[in-house]
Amino acid sequence: MLPIDFIDNMSNQLGGELDAFCQALSEPAVVSIRLNDKLPKQQLDVMAYTSPSERIPWTDDGYYLSERPRFTLDPMLHAGCYYVQDASSMFLEYVLKTFVDKDSVVLDLCAAPGGKSTILSQHLSDKGLLVSNEVVRQRVFVLSENMQKWGNGNCVVTHNKPAEFAQKLPSVFDCMLVDAPCSGEGMFRKDEKAQEQWSLPNIQMCAKRQKEILANVWDALKPGGIMIYSTCTFNQTENEQITRFIARDLGADILQLNIPQQWGIVHTDGYRFYPHRLRGEGLYMSVLRKHKTAYSDSIRIPPLPRRRHITDESLLRSWLQHPEQWHLRQTERFTVALPARYADLVEYLYAHFTCLSAGFGLSELRGRTQHPQHSLSMSKELVAKQFCTVELDLPTALDYLRAQAISLENAPKGLVLLTYKSVPLGFAKNIGNHCNNLYPNEWRIRIANS
Ligand code: SAM
């Protein structure tokens, strides 16, 4: 049963549309996926779930599915070929294409589990840098995992408070996304807990927190920079009122997009997604430009110290498709590949923030041998032909992803790159009668076949 105060609020907002809205909330949530550009679309197994007519109108990469498959048992999901995401959230891609250059430095402040960060990293490609931050510790690991699987090296995952970005990186970001923690009304049909936890005082508490988050991080945005604010709730207190707070109290202009009417999106001070008007969950998104005249206390990122010797550099670079685009950061044991054009900024992040991952892990030195890291196998930069590749069938691929022992008949001994439908899943060491499974234990899937 929907809370009565919620129905009252929605009645004021929707008038004669209330019944259609309540009816939509009683129906199952829409299932949709967004494809990675790791592979040509037609090669993707996920296309078997859908058909081209089911494309989501406001994105080039999103598709509706007619049913919910057991995603966990699809190796392509674990290989980062697609992300299971609500269709409404994919509207971010449309906003980015309209307002955000591909060579921007972007902060995704409330990023876990990473759905919108995968859109941001795909938009920026190899020209920009994304800092994906999550303040809640238990949630930051899944964010890092999802970003590594997505496979772009243009992302740094951090675990810091909003104010730290304003203090340590003033006027550094060209764009910020604040996908704020909210009362979650738009998730009512996906998540029963959202209904149980709903109350009018909670809306006020969420709005207070949203203002604090925005005020605390605001100075990190460059004058003239783009702020994208979003929630998955319907009430105006957490949506239009917060957008107006950004505009008036922090100092920004609200921006508008051209939206075809047939998409069913409602324009207020932002863009509203209602489940009775379109196929997607509840979402609100607004876009603002920080006043160009805003006071800016910018920071000079110190340049990197003179280039140090990199052990086994030519071997490590031979694993990369564009070796010149990567700065190799080497500690005694590990080598990480960072986007060369942002190496100073990433080093600064390492020094002043809690970084969980940056770029992608390239290798671990054990004894005298460089062992490729799992993150390399997920990366779009991987040169697969540098490794001996073994194609797996579905049951063996799933055993590998469960971090179980597998055996590879007729495969060469030593390090092998395992693939499923030609997409890399990770590395293993073939000993002969069995394999050492090198899949990250903390990522392993935990459900059986049926
Ligand atoms: N953007 C994410 C995505 O697309 O996958 C979803 C983000 S979710 C709506 C909001 C996030 O804000 C949660 O991960 C939550 O842990 C985080 N959060 C909670 N309290 C916060 C705070 N005080 N400051 C910043 N982030 C917070």
Q: How do residues 146-167 score in pLDDT, each as one tens digit? A: 999 999 999 999 999 999 999 9
CA of 338 to the centre of ligand 1 (A): 26
Q: Rounded to an integer, what distance in angstroms lies between the CA atom of residue 444 and that of residue 116?
A: 23
Task: Point out which residues pair with 389 in neighbouring strands.
Answer: 417
Residue-range definition of the domain harbouring residue 415: 387-450
Mean pLDDT of the chain, nearest integer: 93
Q: Rounded to an integer, what distance in angstroms lies between the CA atom of residue 32 and that of residue 377?
A: 26
Structure tokens at 407: 């055996």
CA of 135 to the centre of ligand 1 (A): 7
Three-class secondary structure of residue 434 per DSSP? coil
Are the C-beta atoms of 129 and 291 separated by less than 8 Å?
A: no
CA of 324 to the centre of ligand 1 (A): 35
* pLDDT (mean) for 30-43: 83
449 pLDDT tier (thresholds 50, 70, 90): low
Residue among 250, 168, 252, 180 nearest 215 (CA) = 250
Helices (H), 134-238: 137-150, 162-168, 192-196, 200-217
Q: What is the pLDDT of residue 155?
A: 98
Q: What is the pLDDT of residue 42?
A: 62
Q: Rounded to an integer, what distance in angstroms lies between the CA atom of residue 385 and that of residue 313?
A: 18
Report the atom number in ligand 1 closest to the C-alpha of 180.
10
Ligand 1 pocket: which of 92, 109, 110, 142 to mutate (most atoms within 8 A of CB): 110
**Position 123 in a domain:** no
**Position 418 in a domain:** yes
Q: For 170-187, write each residue's pLDDT tens digit.
A: 999 999 999 999 999 999
DSSP readout, 330-396?
A: E-SSEEEEEEGGGHHHHHHHHHHS-EEEESEEEEEEETTEEEEPHHHHHSTTB-GGGSEEEE--HHH
Regarding pTM above 0.85, the answer is: yes
Is the pLDDT at 48 greater than 90? The verdict is no
Q: What is the pLDDT of residue 326?
A: 97
Q: Which of 10-19, 33-42, 202-211, 414-423 has the lowest mean pLDDT?
A: 33-42
Task: Give the closest residue (by CA) to ligand 1 atom 2.
Answer: 111
CA of 387 to the centre of ligand 1 (A): 39
Q: What is the CATH number of the domain that holds 411?
A: 3.10.450.720
44 pLDDT tier (thresholds 50, 70, 90): low
Report the atom number in ligand 1 closest to the C-alpha of 89.
4
**Position 412 in a domain:** yes
* pLDDT (mean) for 360-372: 96
**Position 159 in a domain:** no
Structure tokens at 21: 């809205």
**Position 248 in a domain:** no
Structure tokens at 144: 């890092």
Number of structural domains (the chain) is 1
Helix (H) or strand (E) holding 32: strand 31-35
Counting residues of the chain whose pLDDT is more than 90, the rounded percentage is 84
* pLDDT (mean) for 108-130: 96
Q: Is the dihedral of CA 143, 144, 146, 150 positive or negative?
A: positive
Residue among 218, 276, 266, 273 nearest 242 (CA) = 218
Structure tokens at 292: 């160009």
Three-class secondary structure of residue 214 per DSSP? helix
- How many residues in the chain? 450
Ramachandran angles phi, psi of 279, nearest 5°: -95, 95
Residues in CB range of 152: below 8 A, 6 or more apart:
121, 122, 124, 125, 126, 380
**Position 249 in a domain:** no
Are the C-beta atoms of 105 and 342 separated by less than 8 Å?
A: yes
Provide the CA 408 distance to its chain's centre, in angstroms.
Answer: 34
**Position 391 in a domain:** yes
Residues in CB range of 232: below 8 A, 6 or more apart:
182, 184, 185, 186, 187, 281, 282, 283, 284
Q: Which of 161-175, 182-196, 420-434 has the lowest mean pLDDT?
A: 182-196
Q: What is the pLDDT of residue 21?
A: 97
- Cβ count within 10 A of residue 322: 13
Q: For 66-100, write each residue's pLDDT tens digit.
A: 888 899 999 999 999 999 999 999 999 999 999 99
Based on its alpha-carbon atoms, the radius of gyration of the chain, rounded to whole angstroms, reads 23
Counting residues of the chain whose pLDDT is more than 70, the rounded percentage is 96
Residues at CB less than 6 angstroms from ligand 1: 110-116, 134-136, 139, 162, 179, 181, 209, 213
Q: For 286-336, write each residue's pLDDT tens digit.
A: 999 999 987 777 788 888 776 789 999 999 999 999 999 999 999 999 999
* pLDDT (mean) for 211-230: 98
Q: What is the pLDDT of residue 305?
A: 74
52 pLDDT tier (thresholds 50, 70, 90): low
Q: What is the pLDDT of residue 214?
A: 98
**Position 194 in a domain:** no
CB neighbour burial string for 225-242, b if at least 16 within 10 angstroms, e if fewer: bbbbbbbbbbbbbbbbeb
Report the atom number in ligand 1 closest to the C-alpha of 112.
14
